Structure formats: C-alpha cells, structure tokens
Structure 1
Amino acid sequence: MRTTLIFLSLLFIMIGCSTGGEQEVLVVPKNFKGYVLVIFDQKNGQPIRYMGKKRVYEIPANGILKTQFKVNNGWRDLTEYYVNEISPENMLPSFVEAEKIPKGKTVGFMGETGTVKKNSKSTERVEFSEFYIGARSDIEKAKNLVEKLDIANL
C-alpha cells in the first residue's frame, strides 16, 4: 500500500511538472504537396496568430514559413492540417507513421523538430519543425528534398 502511494505521488508530481506544448494548426495553399518548414523566432517572420488556444501557421506557396513564434516544446495533440482555409471540409487526416498512411490519400504528416547552427563559428541556432502534405509517395520525395536543404540559410 505504501509503495502504491509513493508511486502515485511521484506520478502526480511528474505530471504536474511537465509542460504541454500548444496545439498547432497548419493551413497550406490549395493543391499544395510537399514539405513544410516552420522556422521559429524570426524577427521579420509571420506575426503570431492564434485560433482560440491553437497556434495558426499560414504556409506560403514555397512551403517555408518564417514565424515570430518561439519553438513549440512539450507534449501536444496531433497537428491539424487544412487546405486553403480552416473549415471541417478542408481538414486533412493527420499521421505520424508513414506506413499507416492509406495508399493514394492526401494527408498531413508530422516530421521532425530540430535545431541547426547558423554557421560553424556561431553559437546562434535556428529552430524548426518539418511537416509534410501529400500521399505517401509525395512525402517520401519531399523528405529526400528536405535532407538536402541548408535550413540555417533559408
């Protein structure tokens, strides 16, 4: 009994100390397929915008959004993906495992969040998140393209 109480107490402390991230909403242009890069903490980036308590990222046609938002650390629900505007009929299904994407279906897919140095002599870092829009084959092609990008200099 005592062990159970200690375990539950520790569990509640850990849950209380953990920070949750903010829910994200990603809006891509009509007919967009490929990678999306969200580059955080950019002074001249897209201004911060919320829909309720959810961050809204309006993605330009080139798929690269520079935003004034700070990086979104912490646990959160799956990103919501929309085409053209935020409405139920424009919502794409969200996936985090590529092998579970139904063949031929256009979806939103969460990639990675990372940090790169601005250059080899600097301590300044660029924080970013990757997302993908498309069918599984589109996502695989887009991942190969992202690997070749010099994110620090976008």
Structure 2
Amino acid sequence: MKFSFNIHLLKILFISSTIAIFSACTEIKKSEPVIYLIPEGYIGSLYIIFNAPNGLPPKYEGESRVYEIPPTGVLVTQMNANEGWIESSKMQYFYVNDTGDRTPISEDSASKELNTPHSNAETTRTVYVGGLGQSGPIYGCTVINQSFTIGTDSEQIDSKNLFDIYDAIKFRNIDEKLFNNMCQH
C-alpha cells in the first residue's frame, strides 16, 4: 500500500512539474504600445535599428513608445526591440507635417478590410509592417531592426521607393558614429 502511494505521489509531482515547465515556456510576452511618426508624404521603405548606444534616446507618450522616423527613412535608437505580442489597436501610424500636425495612416490589412471609396488601395497610402529581423554585418555588427513600407499598393511595389537596410545606411547618409560601440568585436 505504501509503495503504490509513493508511485501515485511521484506521478502527481511529475505531471505538476511538467505542466509548470510548459506553462513557463509558453508565456506570451506583450509588447508596449507604439506610435510611429513618419514625415508627411514619405513613400517607401522604413527601418528602425535598435540597441544603438549612440542612437536617439527612448521617447514615450504616456505608455506608448514613440518612434520619430527621420526623412532618411532610418531611425537608429537606443531602445531595445519591442518584442512580443501586440494588439493592432496599440499601434498607431501618423504622417507628421512641419508644424507637428498628425494625420493617421492605416495598416495595409485594415484598409483592405474597409474597401470603401475613401480607402481605395490605389489612392490611399497605408503601412505594410514587415516585422523584426536581424541584418548584418553593418559596420561589423549584426543589428536588430524593424522594417516596413508606406504608400499606395503600386508605390509599395515600385522599386524606386524600396531599399534594403544596407542601401538605406549607405545611400541615405546614415552616420556611422551611431553604430559605434553597438557590438563587441
């Protein structure tokens, strides 16, 4: 009787431990809400490069991260990547004019769902989010970056508006000093 009790106890402990381990491994990390500020009229590829000690310091509005994309289309920031799950309602995209006025921009999927005369994919500029990735070497480092494009459907596939991260850094005159001390050699 004592032997079967010990086996039963061991089974319960094993199952409980297994459940606890799987629960810890499958916890979904939530991202912080985010606001993207894009220069008015910008069309094409955009990149955010994270973890750059000499990049722009973190900026917040309330609980939301704020990414102010410069006219080059490449933001180099000190912030860590915003990894994890995020509700689409927690991501806001705006065109910003010279006086700071913001005009909302919708995500590509949202505009296609609306399919109204005012959200025609051929005349309405939307944001298509490509997500997080790694690129390198860039000045000897592998960098974590987020990429996306903005424009109408035809502008988002026109090669004159698109560039990869290497071209962005080379041809958009991104200062190499922003990448100093970014990685260990």
Tell me the equivalent position of 2:76: 66
Tell me if structure 2 keeps the 8 A contact 1:58–1:65. Answer: yes
Distance apart, 1:54 and its partner CA: 1.1
Contact 1:36 1:131 in 2 (8 A): yes
CA distance in structure 2 between the aligned counterparts of 1:98 and 1:148, rounded to whole angstroms: 26
CA distance in 1, matches of 2:79, 2:129: 18
**Aligned partner of 1:102 among 96, 121, 126:** 121
RMSD: 3.4
Runs of 5+ consecutive residues of structure 2 not aligned to the other structure:
1-18, 114-119, 175-185
Question: Displacement of 1:115 after TM fit?
Answer: 0.6
In the alignment, structure 1 residue 76 sits paired with structure 2 residue 86: yes
* Identity of matched residues, %: 25
Contact 2:111 2:121 in 1 (8 A): no
Q: Structure 2: how far apart are the matches of 1:112 and 1:142?
A: 20
Deviation at 1:140, TM superposition (A): 1.4
Report whether the alignment pairs 1:26 with 2:36.
yes
Q: Distance in 2 between matches of 1:143 and 1:55?
A: 30
Per-residue CA deviations over 1:23-73 (Å, capped at 9, x if unaligned) read 221101121111110000111111101111111000111100001111111
User: Does the 8 Å contact 1:96/1:110 carry over to 2?
Assistant: no
Q: Verify the 8 A CA contact 1:126 1:152 in the aligned structure 2.
A: no
Give the TM-score of the pair, scaled to structure 1.
Answer: 0.74
- Counterpart residue number, 1:35: 45
Q: Which has the higher helix share?
A: 2
2:178 maps to which residue? none
Q: What is the aligned length?
A: 142
Q: TM-score when scaled to structure 2?
A: 0.63
Cα contact 2:122–2:153 (8 A) shared by 1? yes
> Who is 1:139 aligned against?
156
Paired amino acid for 2:135: V
- Kindly provide the amino acid, as one letter, of the partner of residue 145 in structure 1: L
